[in-house]
Amino acid sequence: MNTHIPPVDFGRRMLVLRRRRIAVRLQWRSVVVCAVLAVVIAGAAVLALMTGSYALGPGQVLAALTGRETGIVHDIVVEWRLPRVAAALMFGAALGVSGAVFQSLLRNPLADPGIVGFSQGSYTGALIVILVVNGSYAQLVGGALLGGMVTAVAVYVLAYRRGVQGFRLIIVGIGVSAMLGSLNTWLILKADLDQAMSAAAWGVGSLNGVSWNQVAIGGACIAGLLLLAGVLGRPMRQLELGDDAAASQGVRVSPARLGLILVGVALTATVTAASGPIAFISLVAPQIGRRLTRTAGITLAPAAFVGALLCLVSDYLAQHIAPTPLPVGIITVILGGGYLGYLLFTEARRRL
């Protein structure tokens, strides 16, 4: 009697990578989507490095990147334009992963670090360093991280009632965000005119003036946080099934949720410290990534690639769509606001 049981086909092709005792399962569609997005990002990055008041050809850009070009071309590509492109890619990926974490935890497509107040908390901490302490960039990073963490703890505590429900946390976060927004406005109004103008422009979210120093510090922080987010990716997916189901699979629910919240807040705070709060990327990127990969839940890698592409394209448009370069946050608000309207419209139609 043949007792062989054939493997169950769940309708999705999987790629399994094994290394000693470690095995990683990836969906083929997600791998293909991320690969295509990587190619598009590379093309957009080359275009951004080519375009400007001093136009360059793709050959000149590639020669400058490989060290075969010197002089003014090398300075334009490597010293002036490349830090901005690298910052857009890193910060966009960080915001995409941060949004994916919160949308997965709260099981709500409208969950966003900006909506629940964490971005405003980071902005408040950075404003205090800029306007009150007049500190260095390292202090600015610390202030943004501290402000975001304090806001996250406050929202978590205020929303805790025998556990944290996603809807309650969003409502509490919206209230805290409004309070912090008023505090930020008061801080700017009380500051000197020059400081207030720079702080207000920075508060829109801008990559103007980004240097290699900011890219190096922010990139190191973001790389470590993305690695930690990847480690917490499996508990995050199990938490989407509910606390009881996750606990039955060995997940320590409260520590895992708190760790994911801290990682998401730290990613947002790191970006805010370097460029100001760039709105809507963390809201839009996870949902676009989920629709491209057609997965049931939110996945981190597609959200990171989509976030990087959105930030890079938005910054390119901000530099060239008007005679004077605009803050990237203005473009992301336009794109994100349109997507938010579309999302609300589709949700309303679904309930009819």
- Which of 22-36, 202-216, 240-254, 300-314 is the most confident on average? 300-314
Mean of the per-residue pLDDT values for the chain? 84
Average pLDDT over residues 322-341: 85
Specify the higher pLDDT residue, 8 or 59. 59
Rounded CA separation 96/217 (Å): 19
pLDDT value at position 311? 95
Q: What is the pLDDT of residue 25?
A: 61
- Residue 1: predicted pLDDT: 47
Up-side HSE of residue 261: CA atoms within 13 Å toward CB?
26
User: Any bridge partners for residue 18, and if so which?
Assistant: 23
Strand, helix or coil at 119?
helix
Domains of the chain: residue spans and CATH: 2-350 (1.10.3470.10)
- Please compute the mean of the pLDDT values over residues 263-278 and round it to a whole number: 88
**Which carries the bigger pLDDT value, residue 274 or residue 11?**
274
For the chain, the helix, strand and coil percentages under 3-state DSSP, each to the nearest 5: 75, 5, 25
Region 318-325: mean pLDDT is 87
Please state which of the ranges 17-31, 61-75, 268-282 shows the lowest mean pLDDT: 17-31
Tell whether the model's pLDDT for residue 92 goes beyond 90: yes
209 has a pLDDT exceeding 50 = yes
Q: Residue type for 80, please? A: W
Rounded Cα distance, 210 and 219, in Å? 12
Quick: pLDDT tens for 101-112: 998 888 877 778
Q: In sequence order, what are the beta bridge partners of 180? A: none
Q: Is the pLDDT of residue 273 over 70?
A: yes
Cβ within 8 Å of residue 254, ≥6 positions away: none
- The predicted pLDDT at position 155 comes to 86
Greatest mean pLDDT among 126-135, 219-228, 259-268, 328-337: 219-228
pLDDT at 229: 92
- Which of 77-91, 264-278, 329-343 is predicted least confidently? 329-343
| Mean of pLDDT values over 172-195 | 88
pLDDT at 15: 57
Least confident of 39-43, 56-60, 256-260: 256-260
Name the pLDDT band for 195 (thresholds 50, 70, 90): confident
pLDDT in the model for residue 43:
95
What number is the average pLDDT over the span 186-200? 84
Residue 131 CA to residue 99 CA, distance in Å, equals 29
Q: What sign results for the dihedral spanned by CA atoms 325, 327, 330, 332? A: positive
Share of the chain above pLDDT 70, in %: 91
pLDDT tens per residue, range 10-49: 455 655 555 666 555 667 788 899 999 999 999 999 999 9
Q: Which residue has the higher pLDDT, 337 or 121?
A: 121
* More confidently predicted of 347 and 66: 66
Task: Look at residue 91 and tell me whether its pLDDT is greater than 90.
Answer: yes
Yes or no: say if 33 and 303 are a contact pair by the CB < 8 Å rule. no
Calculate what percentage of the chain has a pLDDT beyond 90. 26
Mean pLDDT, range 236-246, rounded to an integer: 81
Q: What value, to the nearest 5°, has the Cα angle with vertex 98 and ends 112 and 166?
A: 45
Return the pLDDT at 9: 46
Question: Is a pLDDT exceeding 90 seen at residue 55?
Answer: no
